[in-house]
Chain A
């Protein structure tokens, strides 16, 4: 074996020497040419293998990606809701500021913190201002650009409760905008609508007219918008006529309001 090793080493040295002497050039070219087709074939297979592996390794984890997108979507939806609320709040405050810039009323901005009273089926809202803020029963709640929403009926420390316009207990003296001689009383009706009642038959009352507070009631200034006349009910043998009022705001949507203080 030792002899074989020596012979092999010698052969290797000879081959290397021959290469650098340029003797084996044609042989190397021949080997390269003969093997080239096989190498090309395997090279293609190798590339495909490499691409398959790379695509496998770099393939995103779609499940994790979907989960991440779902979480992000939920977060964005929550953000969007918050932004919508802020936008709405901003719009409301702007309208109310616009309203108060035209009138010399004392005011207190309040947030609606509760709505409805399921146990008594009353149409009420709870606001985050109370006795210490100067609130007292009978004061009007105003939304947007001077829209009458309801009346405070109970005041506690830190909070107050108010009837909204559709509650039967909510009554306010009203008239037709621009024609205040047409007077009456707006009363809530079954928690669903409001009715402009006790309007004398001899007073004109037409659909589409705007009903506003008349100011005859202490604590409630004149000119707060209640709604528009939707349908007039007039009986010839009746002393008074009445009309269904369509509120100027969706009462279920109001969140930021103001209370007109005395």
Chain B
């Protein structure tokens, strides 16, 4: 492994950690529905936008592990949900939204956001069957959260899309 590749991976690792720390420590304090944001999903889609699909998969796994360590849900809930989202996003890019337009990425983001929330709720519920608090599950909350995060993430991706475009035309 060359130094260049090493530093690239190290940089990615630091970026992942930074996003994780933001997600864990800052996002829960954001006002209103902004606290439902799932930054890892946005990062994964941005990596697809940057045409780094392998990195997107690794990022999903990395985020999943960190979030599973940090949050009280059963280990694997974040990991499986994020990895599934990354794979579905990749499949959508390869099969449905192939033109890589802004709207494609927004649509992919919205779909994987809803998917993440659905998977997260389902896996948490399955795990809760063993702990006995399944009856307390608030499905309506997850449905609403899926819709809200889909909108916020899509808006975020739109902004980042133009940022990447600007950076690409200016510096690459």
Q: Which A residues fall within an 8 A CB radius of B?
A: 1, 4-5, 8-9, 11-12, 15-16, 19-20, 28, 31-32, 35, 38-39, 41-43, 45-47, 49-50, 53, 57
Contacting residues of chain B (65-88) with chain A, CB-CB under 8 angstroms = 65-66, 68-70, 75-76, 79-80, 83, 87
Which residue from chain B places its CB closest to the CB of A51 in the assembled complex?
B29
Which of B3-11, B17-25, B148-156 forms part of the interface with chain A? Answer: B17-25
- Given A1-B54, A42-B21, the answer on whether A49 and B26 have CB atoms closer than 8 Å is yes
Residue of B nearest to A11 (CB): B61
Q: Are B57 and A4 in contact (CB under 8 A)?
A: yes
Name which residue of chain B comes closest to A56, CB basis.
B31
Q: Is the CB of B57 within 8 A of A50?
A: no
A8 and B69 alpha carbons, distance in the complex (Å): 19
Q: How far is the CA of A47 from the CA of B65 in the complex (A)?
A: 25
Bound complex: CA A45 to CA B24 (Å): 12
Q: In the complex, are the beta carbons of B26 and A46 less than 8 A apart? A: yes
Question: B22 to A9, Cβ gap below 8 A?
Answer: no
A35 touching B54 by the CB < 8 A rule?
no
Size of chain B's interface in residues, with CB distance under 8 A? 30
Contacts of B28 in A (CB 8 A): 46
Given contacts A4-B57, A31-B66, A53-B31, contact A12 B79 (CB under 8 A): yes
- Asked if residues A12 and B80 are in contact (CB atoms below 8 Å), the reply is yes
Q: A42-B25, A42-B26 are in contact. Are A19 and B76 (CB under 8 A)?
A: yes
B75 near A16 with CB under 8 A, answer yes
Which residues of B approach A to under 8 Å, CB–CB? Answer: 17, 20-22, 24-26, 28-31, 53-54, 57-58, 60-61, 64-66, 68-70, 75-76, 79-80, 83, 87, 90
A46 and B29 in contact, given A8-B58, A38-B21, A39-B24 (Cβ under 8 angstroms):
yes
Q: Which of B29, B61, B69, B87 contacts A31 (CB 8 A)?
A: B69
Rounded to whole angstroms, the CA-CA distance of A16 and B73 in the bound complex is 13
Contact of A19 among B26, B61, B75 (CB under 8 A): B75
Asked if residues B29 and A1 are in contact (CB atoms below 8 Å), the reply is no
Closest residue of chain B to A28 (Cβ to Cβ) is B69
A5 touches B57 (CB 8 A): yes
Partner of A5, one of B17, B30, B75, B87: B87
Q: Is the CB of A49 within 8 A of B29?
A: yes
Cβ–Cβ < 8 Å partners of A35 in chain B: 17, 20-21, 66, 70
Closest to A46 in B: B29
Question: Which residues of chain B are near A8, meaning CB under 8 Å?
Answer: 57-58, 60-61, 83
Complex contact A1–B53 (CB within 8 A): yes
Complexed CA–CA distance, A113 and B150 (Å): 73
| Interface contact B64-A12, CB-CB below 8 Å | yes
User: Are A32 and B26 neighbours in the complex by a CB distance under 8 Å?
Assistant: no
Whole-angstrom distance between the Cβ of B67 and the nearest chain A Cβ: 11
